[in-house]
Structure 1
Amino acid sequence: MKKNKIRTLTLALAAAMLAGVGQNALAHTRLEVPTIAEGVRQTNNVVISHGCGEGKMTIGTSVVFPDGVDSTITVGGQPHSGPLTDFVSNWGNTNQAILNRAVFDFMDEKTGPNGNVSGFWAGGGQGMSNHLAAYVPFRASAVNIEPTSCANSVKFFVSIVDICEITGIDALRSGSGEAGGPVNLWTHNNLGTPYDRVSTEDDGPASLTITRDLTKNPLPGSCGAGVDVEVKPSAAQINRDMPIKFNGQQVWPQ
């Protein structure tokens, strides 16, 4: 009997430890559906998995997708000097916010100089308590991989800042992804912007990967096994699109 109790306790402790590991692994702010087949429209969510720390509410979030205009593109890890249209034929206005006041009272899209949606923000209202998680919805329209390309997949890195306090831009550097700062930065660590995540690894951004439909859109015979493409936003785009503007006035950062 004693051995059975010890075994039960050991299994319970192991399960608790595994659960803790799983929760920590999921603590980053990420997309609910990180991978979508080309040509498929998908309702999706930004999932804010942890809050700002004890006694703090998450009062808003700001989301930026690479616009593909001056983005950094790599193919199989190597720099690509050509345009994004070498791999994706219709990127640019494919992600659009869905109004939902379950967590935040206000929400709006961000647009670049060409009028395409480059991100969105949500904020105001009660916000999100530290011990809860929150979903911020958007619609990912069907993206088409260029048939003549060798792309098996195209991964877009999505930069997100969860806001804990309204501060000036200089205060943002005290944020990382850990609770307690004025923001949680789920961004690149090496773009050279005030919004860069404080981290030795570039593991901050969420991602949205478009996979090739090899049945409807097979690889050209010259491609062999194909390649994987990655797209990061430029520093100029992050500096332009990350701030939140409400009724024409910038409200964050102040």
Structure 2
Amino acid sequence: MSKFNLQGKSAIITGGASGIGEAISKTFAQQGAYIHILEFSKESGEQTVKEIKNDGGEANFYQCDVSNHLQVKNIIDEIAKNNKIDILINNAGVAHVGNVENTFESDLDRVYNVNVKGVYNCIYATVPKMKAQGGGVIINMASIASSVGISDRFAYSMSKGAVLTMTYSVAKDYLDSNIRCNCISPARVHTPFVDGFIKKNYPGKEDEMFDALSKTQPIGRMGKPEEIANLALYLCSNEASFITGTDFPIDGGFIKLNG
């Protein structure tokens, strides 16, 4: 059997139908995992499941607002009726641009409810299932903004800092339950969100701004969703069985080489 094989594993991936989440869903399916996509967009969720199945994989889609505690619990209970939950990827998230002065209460609530409460909701519903079955793996998607200052990312940085410390807490609390919990902290990754942000804020200068944003990474380019997915694959595989309670920056040198 090849390394990093997920054959027979069942994986829940939130925000699993776009950007990094879509790449994780497809990568894990290619390695044999049964994929359960929790996604807010019905259209994106159904399309990603279709593409996974066309590629020979197995997947289901559940339309879900991860900030809704009861909805998350009901969906995860439904999944657990017929499947072990071997892997939980907390990838769903929203962004916000602004410092504290131009972050309104409604902005803060929106970011908190998805990025922090959403992660809590999924872990809260999943951990008892993993304990009962003898273990599992949780990956939380944090950010380099969890540990270094990023201009005009007040609410976003707050939320991802919480994701980082939740990771440490869960890893510590469930060592004896054989539940490993780690987080991944990407720098800027080229996703549809980036393209949409540039188009909205810099009309007519898309190519120029894309190049400028790419050069903010010391390595000279943005990350690719598939590169994040490959790291997640390793961390969820048996080959990473000695790793828990750790943050993994994947940032083109941003943290250590910027300045």
Q: Compute the TM-score of the two structures, normalised by the length of structure 2.
A: 0.25
Structure with greater strand percent: 1
Q: Report the structure number with the largest CA radius of gyration.
A: 1
Higher RCO, Cα 8 Å, sep 6+? 1
Structure with greater helix percent: 2
